[in-house]
Amino acid sequence: MTHLDSAEPVVSMQDISITFGAVTALDGVSVRLFPGEVHALMGENGAGKSTLIKALTGVYAVDGGTVTVQGRRLSFSSPAAAQEAGISTVYQEVNLCTNLTVAENMMLGREPRFLGAINTRAMNRRARATLERLGLDVDPASTLGDHPIAIQQLVAIARAVDVDAKVLILDEPTSSLDADEVEKLFAVMRRLRSEGTAIVFVSHFLDQIFEISDRMTILRNGRLVGERMTADLTQLELVQLMIGRDLEVLEKLERELGEEGSTVVDETPVLRAVGLGRKGSLLATDLEVRPGEVVGLAGLLGSGRTELARLLFGADASDTGTLEVAGRRAKLRAPRQAIDRKVAFLSENRRSEGVIADLSVADNMLLALQATRGWLRPIPSATRKKLVDEYIEALDIRPADPDALMRNLSGGNQQKVLLARWLITEPDLLILDEPTRGIDVGAKAQIQQLVADLARRGLGVVFISAELEEVLRLSDRVVTMRDRRKIDERTNVDVAVGDVLEIIAGDARAEEVGARA
């Protein structure tokens, strides 16, 4: 490794405890970060990774334990104090101002000034230099919101890099990046590492963890499982440490999923789109989903997967083509019309398009059902309780408290609540856009299992994921998209990841893309 074990850690957190009311989020957790190392923080959803990061960045106050930065004991009262101590963070969901320019976002609060006024030219120049250092070809004067999420994420990282942080925290930075961009990010991380920066890396992609990290700390249920050198662990051992249950269970689940080809009955398709399109987002596309069938949508970021899903649900209105739901023509102008026809859609943007943060778990779960009933017919409290308890148990939602505020749940548990929201409406067609993104192995397997079960019960499912293995494991049919249109459709018999990659990229690009998949 790049340092001796006797080296001084740049950050040392000792016996950190944090409680929210009666819930203990962290219980005596210790973490050491060494300069010139990539340190992976591992654990399932709700294990306490995000809480630990927020303690280190001054978002949460620590109830017990000490934080030592470069030998000095510090207690951060605010994110600004943590930044001053040299700790920079890039969060999972981009936290930038989309209405400002790229450069303004990077320099926010540290703008170069001339006679008190912001010196725009100097700011753009400095931003461009930093972006170029990261190998990013982005115009610093362009508006951030005009760029895809992936670029916004990289700008967030560029902002952190620009501060010359001693500690750089990357919370799920790769969840919305494609293979090229991940490679770019890793190149930057390696460079920063060689310059002596301590990098905290959180990701659910185990391959990425093993590719980039030197050391890892593993958490489970708010407690420390242990600190390990990455080189000393296999992926299987790591998963075992994270979820604390026998891996056989997981493997068995995977095998079951592999074996059961769900039997598709030849009935009226639950959904049929002919020439469906929308100016500027999707070219005319045909799609058919039959009951009990899982149709996987494969393709890179921006290939039109999400755009198609949104048209099928009426989240955006189509301007060409026709749509039939359960054999009847449907012109969808609003999501509500799709929901009334028993179509459900889980958006890829959990935070902005799914979660109602300040409402309880129960209210979040019942929102779609309540909306279809209308406000005059509230769900009787007995039914409420029954449905909520049933789904909290079935989906293993933690904490198992219907009155907990949605904002206090971890990402994976929020995702389960949103899934429950749709399952409660008893849909005939379920459109899942990246349902397992940013979710740990255990919850991921649970959700995959659930999708397979639902299909067996006769639901039609449209399954979208950037992870090709996942698409291929679950789907009966694979539809491949590129450049905002469907380029291929085939029954999923002996289709390998490589096949799909070849379709997507053409032979020339297949190898590049392979890195991600």
Q: Are 451 and 475 contacting, i.e. CB atoms less than 8 angstroms apart? A: no
Whichever of 10 and 404 has its CB closer to another protein, that residue is 404
375 forms part of the interface with another protein (CB under 8 A) = yes
* Span near another protein by CB under 8 A; candidates 3-11, 323-331, 374-382, 503-511: 374-382
What CA–CA distance (Å, rounded) separates 291 from 323? Answer: 16
Please report whether residue 137 would count as binding another protein according to CB under 8 A: no
Residue 173, preceding peptide bond in cis (omega within 30° of 0): no
Q: Which amino acid is at 77?
A: S
Does 30 help bind another protein (rule: CB under 8 A)?
no
d(CA 27, CA 43): 14
Under the binding rule (CB under 8 A), the answer on residue 245 touching another protein is yes
Q: Identify the helix (H) or strand (E) that includes residue 18.
A: strand 11-20
Q: Determine, following the binding rule CB under 8 A, whether residue 307 of this chain makes contact with another protein.
A: no
- For 466, phi then psi, to 5°, come to -80, -15
Residue 331 interacts with another protein (CB under 8 A): yes or no: no
User: Residue 68, exposed/middle/buried by CB under 10 A (0-12, 13-18, 19+)?
Assistant: middle
Q: Is 334 in the site for another protein (CB under 8 A)?
A: yes
If one asks whether residue 339 binds another protein (CB under 8 A), the answer comes out as: yes
Q: Does 394 bind another protein (CB under 8 A)?
A: no
Range in contact with another protein (rule: CB under 8 A) among 178-186, 301-309, 361-369, 447-455: 361-369
Nearer to another protein, 370 or 436 (CB): 370
* Residue from the set 187, 229, 247, 357 that interacts with another protein by CB under 8 A: 357
Helix pair 411-423, 381-394: axis angle to 10 deg: 130
CA–CA dist 172, 170 (Å, integer)? 6
Please provide the distance, in angstroms rounded to a whole number, between the alpha carbons at the two ends of the chain: 27
CB of 233 to another protein, least distance (A): 18
Which is closer to another protein, CB of 277 or CB of 335? 335
Give strand ranges (E) for 48-107: 64-69, 72-74, 87-90
Is residue 399 part of the contact set for another protein (CB under 8 A)? yes
User: d(Cα 384, Cα 351) in Å, to the nearest integer?
Assistant: 24
Number of residues interacting with another protein: please give it, by CB under 8 A.
Answer: 51
Select from 148-156, 200-208, 238-246, 317-325 the region that touches another protein (CB under 8 A): 238-246
> Does residue 336 interact with another protein by CB under 8 A?
yes
**Taking a C-beta distance cutoff of 8 angstroms, is the pair 184, 158 a contact?**
no
Which of 35, 173, 269, 354 is close enough to bind another protein by CB under 8 A?
A: 354
Q: How far apart are CA 193 and CA 209, in angstroms?
A: 15
* Smallest separation (angstroms) from another protein to the CB of 224: 10
- CA pair distance 442, 244, nearest whole angstrom: 10
| Footprint of another protein (CB under 8 A) | 20-23, 44, 220-221, 223, 243-245, 249, 313, 315, 334-336, 339-340, 345, 347, 352-359, 363, 367-368, 370-379, 396, 398-401, 403-404, 421, 442
